[in-house]
Amino acid sequence: MPTKLALDWRGRAIEIEIAWVGRNDPAAEVMVFLHEGLGSVAQWKDFPDRLCRQLGLRGLVYSRPGYGASTPRAADEHWDVDFMHRQATEVLPALLTHLHIRKPWLFGHSDGGSIALLYAAHCTEQPAGVIVVAPHIMVEDISITSITAAREAYLHQGLRERLAAYHQDVDSAFFGWNDIWLNPAFRSWSIEDELAQISCPLLAIQGQEDEYGSMQQVLGIRDRLPAAEVLAIPNCGHSPHRQQAELLIVAVDAFVNKVKI
């Protein structure tokens, strides 16, 4: 069951929703799950538990500030272009330190994938390995088109009601993400030049029919990190953990076991 822990972030007391899944052993290696731009602990459903049980790992799932049952954004709080950098270099390290977690595996989806990459690029101790699914390393036209459509769906087509089941403050979650992605200042956002600082094993996965990003997102990772493994999943959109879960589990299991040899 999810619980909450208190953190201090930039002088502000916040609560972070967390859940432990997978192997029930405090001494086991940990895989940390980093959710998408509209995700939360509940949005993952049972995928983290299934994956961690397959891998023999303990899983930590958490909702970032503004999402799920974590502290919502303040009414006057608007995220800046560096919002993913702040999650990667401030919130995630504080969470890992609080829980005494060192060298975790990171599994990030979409924005969470970008945060995982940024953490690996800037942390003082590399993770055991990083798996990113549909990450963003730059902003593409396809991303803006789909995020614009998501706003229309949220305002007029019932998306707000569907997301409300997963977020304590659904407007905090949606507009925190949507407003900054559609801000013209975000159009030039890129983490491409930071990727070269990553030295841990890396697996980058993309659905070939992803409506939020092209294969250039993961191919761009390999261009800068030739040792990175890249997997394209056919008949799959933006959420392989929902659309091709079995295939994804097999691929991650093979990657993790290869790294451990």
Nearby residues of 51 by Cβ (< 8 Å), 6 or more positions away: 22, 31, 59, 107, 248, 249, 252
- Mean pLDDT, residues 154-162: 98
Per-residue pLDDT tens digits for 66-96: 999 999 998 788 899 999 999 999 999 999 9
Of 75, 56, 63, the C-alpha closest to 175 is 75
Q: Considering the chain, what is the average pLDDT of its residues?
A: 96
**pLDDT of amino acid 42:** 97
**pLDDT of amino acid 45:** 97
What CATH topology corresponds to 3-260?
Rossmann fold (3.40.50)
The ranges assigned to domains in the chain are 3-260
Of 231, 211, 210, 209, the C-alpha closest to 219 is 231
**pLDDT of amino acid 62:** 98
Least trusted range by pLDDT, from 10-14, 66-70, 146-150, 238-242: 10-14
Per-residue pLDDT tens digits for 208-230: 999 999 999 999 999 999 999 99
